[in-house]
Structure 1
Amino acid sequence: MQPSRILLLNILAAGAFYVAGFAVLGSGYPTIESSGREVIEWFSHNGADARIYAWTAAFFSLGLAVFAAQVAAVMPKPQRYIFFAGVLGFAITAQVQGWFWAGLSFHPQGLDAATARTLFQIPTYWGPLINGSTMTMAVAFIALGFGRKPIIPRWLTGLSVLFFVEQAIETVTVFGRSGFIAPGGPMNVYLGGIIGFVWVAGVVRWAMPRVDQQAH
């Protein structure tokens, strides 16, 4: 199989696991606004869903690692290392979040409300903190779009700038307490997620012919 097809199929599978992880949780999972008692109740009745969510995070992280390796291989130094570090940070954050969700699902009934709320709120901050990793990914590509001989096309440069700016603004969710800008809320999951998916698609489109050329 051509490396470009591996890259495409891998990122599609990783995206599917990412979406499936949130889909299995449904719409009623706890948020930063939930009380400790609500967290305990949800994990008591939806423990299997929480573990499935953690399971999808493992495969999502695997897909990110393959994506990072293939794309970084066709990037120049030092941008390849900057990009790879950003993707690695993303993957690790996803794994840590999965650890907490799976752990909370094991014996939630034995927790008092304050402890349950605190343990849940820690991984909820994955949203604003993961922005540091995504900005690192984007800035590596922005650097490739400037200079006397840009390596990436203008459309990917513009998309990378848009992604970087949106992710930088999204860091304000670390100060949010409710609603759209709450940590792990709609700004992180939906707005950032959609723009991120579009940017990754652009990166894959640019990298596909280059990974084949490198293989030959």
Structure 2
Amino acid sequence: MTQSRILLINILLTAAFYVAGFVALGSGFPTIESSGQEIVQWFSENGTRARIYAWTSAFFSLGLAIFAGQVAALLPRANGYIFFAGVLGYALTAQVQGWFWAGLAFHPQNLDPAAARSIFGITAYWGPLINGSTTAMAAAIAALGLGSRPIIPRWLLWLSSVFFLEQAIETVTVFGSTGFIAPGGTMNVYLGGLIGFVWVGGVVRWAMPRVDAAWQSEMTSRFG
């Protein structure tokens, strides 16, 4: 199997696990606006859903690591390090959020509502804080489109710039409490998620014809 095919299949499976996690939660999962009692009740009734969500987070993080390694290998050293660090930060944040959800699902009936709300609040703030990782990812790629000899096409420069700007603005959700800019809310999950999906698709489209050539060059330099 070629490296380009691995890249494509991996990112499709990674996206599938991301979507599957939210599908598993259903439409009535708690948010930062939920009361402690509502959080305890949901986890008491939907423990399996929370565990499935945590399970998908593990494979989502695995897919991100593969994506990071393949794309970072195509970039100049500094950009590659920044890109890889950004994706790794995203993956680790997804894991931390997932294990908090799984932990809350373990004997939730014994949780004090106030404690449950505080613990759940920690998981909600993955949204604004993960933007530090996503802006690093976008900046590492966008920088390759600048100067007199750009490495990436202009369409990917603009796409990366839009993604960077949206993610940078999205950090204001750390100050939100309700509605569109609530931490872990619509702006973080849906708007940012949609633009992120499009951006990742653009990066994969650019990388696919290059990963095979890079792999062949690596094998030739190693084994002749």
The aligned counterpart of 1:43 is 43
Q: CA deviation at 1:142?
A: 1.2
The aligned counterpart of 2:70 is 70
1:115 paired with 2:115, answer: yes
| Paired positions, count | 216
> How far apart, in 2, do the equivalents of 1:26 and 1:186 lie?
15
Structural mapping, 1:75-90, within 5 Å: 75-90=75-90
Q: Could you tell me which runs of 5 or more consecutive residues in structure 2 were left unpaired when the two chains were aligned.
A: 217-224
Query: Which amino acid is the alignment partner of residue 153 of structure 1?
Result: P
Percent of counterpart pairs with the same letter?
73
> How far apart, in 2, do the equivalents of 1:11 and 1:125 lie?
25
* TM superposition outliers: structure 1 runs of 4+ over 2 Å: none
1:190 paired with 2:190, answer: yes
Q: CA deviation at 1:111?
A: 1.1
> How far apart, in 1, do the equivalents of 2:127 and 2:213 lie?
36
1:20 paired with 2:10, answer: no
1:137 paired with 2:137, answer: yes
1:54 paired with 2:54, answer: yes
Residue 77 of structure 2 aligns to a residue whose secondary structure is coil
TM-score w.r.t. the length of structure 2 is 0.96
Q: CA deviation at 1:64?
A: 0.1
Structural mapping, 1:169-188, within 5 Å: 169-188=169-188
> How far apart, in 2, do the equivalents of 1:27 and 1:177 lie?
20
The aligned counterpart of 2:29 is 29
> How far apart, in 1, do the equivalents of 2:156 and 2:44 lie?
45
Q: Could you tell me which runs of 5 or more consecutive residues in structure 1 were left unpaired when the two chains were aligned.
A: none
The aligned counterpart of 2:206 is 206
> How far apart, in 1, do the equivalents of 2:215 and 2:167 lie?
33
> How far apart, in 2, do the equivalents of 1:27 and 1:211 lie?
39
Q: CA RMSD in A?
A: 0.5
